[in-house]
Structures are given as structure tokens and as C-alpha cells.
Amino acid sequence: MDPLSVLKTLWTHKWVAMPMVVLTVLACAYGMFWAPRSYESSATFALAMPSVPTERELENDPELVALNADNPYLRWNDTSLLAQVVIARVSSNDVAKELEGRGLSTDFTLVAPAGTTSGMLTITATDTSPENAANTVAFLAEAFTGVLREVQKVNNADDLYLVEAMPISGPTPPEEVFSSRLRSTAVLGVVGGLLLFGAVSLAQSVSESRRRGREAAAEAVVEDTTPEVTTPEPPPTTVEPGEDGGGGRRHAREAGGGVETQLRDFPPILDERGLPQPQHASR
């Protein structure tokens, strides 16, 4: 269907389309100016590898030798594995339940910033309340540092051999997420458009059904009023016997009242005495 046909259909059913257009515009205006807002706060941390004592330092300081250096995450040259473990622990259901119990937001992410290595992690929380967004980031930052320390203490390694979380920024002041406003407005617009075309399609279907009904009724009326062609009945005739009893005359009355006589031979009908009887031709 080309755009002109669509516009023509909308104009044909304007009394159905106009209310839907007005409602869609009002819904989009509500989504843009009065719908609940989303606010976002974030905090960024850097995972710093510990400064492991050298062989010379161990020889000169016997106390360093007595320290427990069994941190399994130091066996890798980077912090990628440690970061994945911490992300999985912080994103678990236990943390989400604790957030719900405190009345905080459960809409958060803990990922590496775009374009950076695994040595940095950013916590981002989103909520309709700016205070809740900031409080959620603060709670998650505390939970993040606690989990980071806990997973490295699996073999009771001393603090000297632990990877530390160094705050880089945040928690930042909550800021409105403008994309959420646009997203809600777009969703309302799409829903309104679907309702508009659904209402117009229904009106078009009803209109077509009524038109077909009127056409069928008109055809029925035409058939009822068409004159029926009938074959005129022949005029009534009577037959008189001939003088010799072997034939007869047929008299047919004309429409004007006259009499038309036709001659036709008929076999004589004799009675019991052998005398011819008069004949009357049926219609």
C-alpha cells in the first residue's frame, strides 16, 4: 500500500483516527516531560597488583619470609581472572536480595570501562530516585572491595600479597539518563501507532462489510422488481361438428370480442345410436 492510499484511508476514517492520534501525542508528551526519570551514579576502581618482595629483600628481612604469600590469583600476570570472579560474586542473587532488603536499586552493572583493560572496573547503578542511585553505588563499592579481599584470602595470604582496589572516581553525583526518557517516549509512540492502525483497519473492515451488505440488498431488490416474462395463454376455443360428422369448426374468441374461426378436421365421435356428437376443444 502506497503512502497516498494510507493517507486516504486515514482521512476516510478520520473520526476513528483523530482520537487515536491525539491520545498518542498526549502519551508521547507525558513520556517526554512528566514520566518518571532514571538517574545514574557510578564509581570506578583500578585493580593494583601487590609489590612482591624481591629475593634480596627476603634475605635481608626475615619477617618477610615468614609472611604467607599463597595468593592463587598472583599466578597470572594480570588481574583478568580475579576481576571475573569478583564480578560473578557481586552480581549474585545474594547481593541482589541484600539490595532489596535495604530498599536500594537492583539495576546495576559491574564491568570494565569501554576501551580499557581488565585492570579497571566500573560500578554503575540506575534508579528512579537520585539518592537511591548514589546509595546503591556506595553499597556496591563496599561489597566489591570486601569480595575482592575475601576471594584472595582463600589460602590465608597476608595483606602484602593481596591485589588492592584503588578508587579512581566516584561515587559520582546522580545524573538523569536522558536516553531512558527517549526510550519511554519511543515505546509510547510505537504503541500508539499500532493502536491507530489497528483501529483504522477495524473501521475499514466494518465499512467494507457494510458496503457488501448494501450491494447484496440492492441486487435482491432489483431481482424482485424485474418483470417476469410469461407466455400468453391461447384464447378459449369451441369446436362444432361438421355437416357430415367427419370434421368440425374451431371458434376462438379474440381479445377484442370478435370470433376467429379455424377449420380443422377431427375424427367424429359417435354415441350409442351411431350418431355424431358435438366436440368441445379443451384449452
Under the banding of pLDDT at 50, 70 and 90, the label for residue 283 is very low
* CA separation for the pair 16, 29 (Å, rounded): 21
Among 51-55, 73-77, 122-126, 262-266, the minimum mean pLDDT is found in: 262-266
* CA separation for the pair 2, 221 (Å, rounded): 37
- What are the grid coordinates assigned to 203, written together? 473501521
* CA separation for the pair 33, 176 (Å, rounded): 13
- The helix or strand, by DSSP H or E, that contains position 172, with its residue range, turns out to be none
Q: At residue 91, does pLDDT exceed 80?
A: yes
Average pLDDT of the residues in 173-193: 87
Q: Are 259 and 242 in contact (CB under 8 A)?
A: no
Q: Would you state the pLDDT for residue 282?
A: 47
pLDDT in tens, 3-51: 788 788 878 888 888 988 899 999 888 888 888 889 999 999 999 888 8
Q: At residue 251, does pLDDT exceed 60?
A: no
- The helix or strand, by DSSP H or E, that contains position 77, with its residue range, turns out to be none
* CA separation for the pair 70, 185 (Å, rounded): 55
- Cβ neighbours of 65 (radius 10 Å): 11
pLDDT in tens, 198-245: 888 888 888 888 888 888 888 877 776 666 556 666 555 554 555 544
* CA separation for the pair 218, 188 (Å, rounded): 45
Sign of CA pseudo-dihedral 57, 59, 65, 69: positive
Find the DSSP H helices in the chain.
Answer: 3-12, 14-33, 55-60, 62-66, 80-90, 93-101, 130-152, 178-225
Q: At residue 258, does pLDDT exceed 60?
A: no
Among 36-45, 94-103, 116-125, 251-260, the minimum mean pLDDT is found in: 251-260
Q: At residue 52, does pLDDT exceed 60?
A: yes
Length of the chain: 283
pTM of the entire structure?
0.60
* CA separation for the pair 276, 273 (Å, rounded): 9
* CA separation for the pair 91, 29 (Å, rounded): 36
